[in-house]
Structure 1
């Protein structure tokens, strides 16, 4: 599903500029607001550029990282994110800032907010005390989506073929080093959906738990808590789930997210939950099955 360009952006009365730099800027100006996804036709219509010219420039912008191509269309890329063109991510940071601070204060752990950027996650916010300086993440920095709790929390709510396109190439290049394979990742994502969207990563130096902020169309961002090696993730997992739910409702309203029919069923879950954590988790998910 693409997000069409509003009429105000389609009503160009002057001919397109001859300069390639001007044309690239004209195309980049089409990508505004939250989670915009545009097709080639959308961009060509908005800029009044020939379709062949539009396609050629889009290919170059994707290659350079200014834009990213997904099955849902073109969107803002990781390089544009790092230069402050956040594609509406300021609203995400505003909606979650207080909750991230509260999570960090209540748990003594480091709270993150991130979005998917090609095969990576891009950190939008990081909150924590003195311990935060030891965690090798920074606002604007990136990490592989397939090997982080934040990335997997978001990937779990994408169609499998979208996951393959998003991270398959990166995993193929890194498989000898990471030991992870695409089929194993899909099994992990099924388990995450079986846990109402909670993703755990215990193989990192700093274990973490994450959940996705979701609209009816799919994942928009992710929130996580990251702690020391002995962190009891199950105890704080319900807090992460609750914050993600509240942010989803604030941003997109109280509505169920669509669960595609072709999602694979979740296998048996290997994690052991404390009764307290499980009760809290069930309480979070009881009001309308939001995840």
Structure 2
């Protein structure tokens, strides 16, 4: 276990790909032992091996994503609770995974059952306000790349739908990142508002509020933005957010 851990720790240097000789030098293990353990780690998907060398595999990256999600949940916890109290609405925290939104948290107390969302579910990003807030915060070329990904059903997104989504993203950017869906446009009569949580390299999550009926946007929007900024400040308490772009406390709601 110690030797395998030493091999995985060798990738802490920041280099994505290491040759066998690099791993041997960094671990101090005999070359034959390093090779044998690296082969076992590759078979178990902790590492990937190709002609360029070794790099971290699917199982390692999966654990890293879980850790990141837990960090985001912890950073957002207080902000989500306070936002629920301030708005009386159900509050969600979601992250972008490929072209889907993965819901990490839902706060609503007794009201939670009134909104049919579940923690852990993944939904096409273009079908949720969290997803639209996240996509609109990406560089246009990155958002376009996400929209070109195959849907989970393996079907291709229709051209007409893609154009409609691009129009939605334009409107979100016009509102300084605020995504809105009114209850009058939803079969279930649910109104939702979302804002992105911005890190130094772009959006890392989105926070939304949802309620049946109408939402008072001019009151709720600044509260959602504040929760997003508060989460980002907690997530990057080392000051790495200084000078980064973040949404203002006022959104253009027209």
Structure 2 unaligned segments of length 5 or more: list them: 1-10, 16-22
CA distance in 2, matches of 1:123, 1:183: 25
Q: RCO greater where, 1 or 2, for CA within 8 Å and sep 6 or more?
A: 2
Corresponding position: 1:7 with 2:17: no
2:155 counterpart of 1:173: yes
User: Matched residue of 2:39: which SS?
Assistant: coil
Partner-residue secondary structure (3-state), 1:88: helix
Aligned ranges for residues 194-205 of structure 1 at < 5 Å?
Answer: 194-202=174-182, 203-204=185-186, 205=188
Structure 2 match to 1:18: 39
Matched residue, 2:209? 225
Structure (1 or 2) with the larger CA radius of gyration: 2
Structure 1 position 184, deviation (Å): 2.3
- What is the Cα-based RMSD across aligned positions, in Å? 3.5
Count of residue pairs brought into register by the alignment? 218
Contact residue 179 and residue 194 of structure 2 kept, 8 A: yes
In 2: Cα distance, 1:108 partner to 1:165 partner: 36
TM-score, scaled to structure 2: 0.71
3-state DSSP of counterpart to 1:86: helix
- Matches of 2:166 and 2:136, distance apart in 1: 8
**Corresponding residue SS for 1:213:** strand
Shift of 1:285: 5.4
Q: Provide runs of 4+ in structure 1 moved above 4 Å.
A: 52-55
Q: Please name the residue that 2:223 is paired with.
A: 239
Per the alignment, residue 109 of structure 1 pairs with 89
Give yes or no for the alignment of 1:207 onto 2:185.
no
Match of 1:256 in 2: 243
Note the alpha carbon deviations across 1:52-109, whole angstroms, 9 max, x for none.
7879x97xx5xxxx79xxxxxxx64xxx79xxx6132222111111111111122211
- The two structures have a TM-score, normalised by structure 1, of 0.63
